[in-house]
Amino acid sequence: MRIYGKIIETIPEERIVKIEYDGRLLYLYMTRKVFKDFGPYFYHNPYIFVDIDNQPRKYGKYFVYDINYFVKVVEPTKRERKIFYDIFTIKKGVKKLLDKINYKMFLDLEFSLPAYYQSMPHVAEIVQYGIVIEDKDGNIVFEDSNLVNPKKKYSLNSRTLKFLSRTRDEYDNAIEYIEFYELLEKIIKEYNPKIIAWGRSDMLALEQSFQVNKVKPLQIRKKYVNIMQVIKNYYNFKEEMGLFQTYQEMSGEQLKPQIHDALEDAMLTREIYRMFKVRVNDDIKRSVK
């Protein structure tokens, strides 16, 4: 049920606000996370537009309605409305971002880990990549994955190999970093894609790899899309989100125990992107109605 009203009182210790709605006073309850996110706005006693449960429940000495999510937080002023939060504006911005992307490169990298008994500063090196390129119509036009030999051979320590479920012998057929670099350079020139990855780690690892291997830095920062952060902002999540967990929650599909494989993770990132884009478009359609 969607309602709106002016906040009359905030009860921080109970995470409750009292609002006036349709000639009645209602008590609205928030989870700890929601109150932390939106509580700073309540000092202004704004109008809030929220979706709540249809029926109240007893909470301490109050009968409260649980807030499912915020739609808008507005402070009317004499000159104009000050909008603190507007979910529809956020959703339109995300839809615009997703719609304008043509070629997409879904990228996942695996890095070396510090040894169990590290005696020197650790520099993470790329030891595997997974790349999936999709055109504007969603068709896969390129797919590749390979193990990559790190510059410092001790980067292939037992901890790294165990994490990747790999053996040292498998790296006898690995490519050298320069081959990965040249492939990445060629892809950027040929497709000019947005680089879509889960989190910031891949971008930071790429930029660091240019320095470690003393090659000309590729301009990737403006091409990079952290799809995890986009989804977090869209749903107003504050906690970090795991790739496998997010895929399972969005798809309803239960995956086998996670094996750290760059191509598999790149494919999962692609599937999450595709499911998320469908949800965004559906949300916009419902909001317009």
Which residues of the chain are under the pLDDT cut of 50?
none
Identify whether 84 is part of a domain: no
CATH number at residue 126: 3.30.420.10
Q: In what order do the strands lie in the sheet with 175-176?
A: 175-176, 140-149, 126-134, 104-111, 194-197, 224-226
**Structural domains of the chain, count:** 2
- What is the model's pLDDT at position 37? 85
- What is the model's pLDDT at position 8? 94
CATH number at residue 71: 2.40.50
Q: Say whether both 129 and 22 belong to one domain.
A: no
Predicted model pTM: 0.77
- What is the model's pLDDT at position 90? 84
pLDDT digit string (tens) for 163-219? 999 999 999 999 999 999 999 999 999 999 999 999 999 999 999 999 999 999 999
- What is the model's pLDDT at position 234? 83
243: its two tokens: 């790739």
pLDDT digit string (tens) for 136-159? 999 999 999 999 999 988 889 999
- What is the model's pLDDT at position 289? 52
Identify whether 81 is part of a domain: no
Q: Say whether both 101 and 56 belong to one domain.
A: no
Q: Say whether both 220 and 128 belong to one domain.
A: yes
Identify whether 185 is part of a domain: yes
- What is the model's pLDDT at position 288? 57
- What is the model's pLDDT at position 30? 94
Identify whether 89 is part of a domain: no
Range of the domain at 194: 96-287
Amino acid at 48: I
Identify whether 201 is part of a domain: yes
- What is the model's pLDDT at position 76? 77
Q: Say whether both 11 and 125 belong to one domain.
A: no
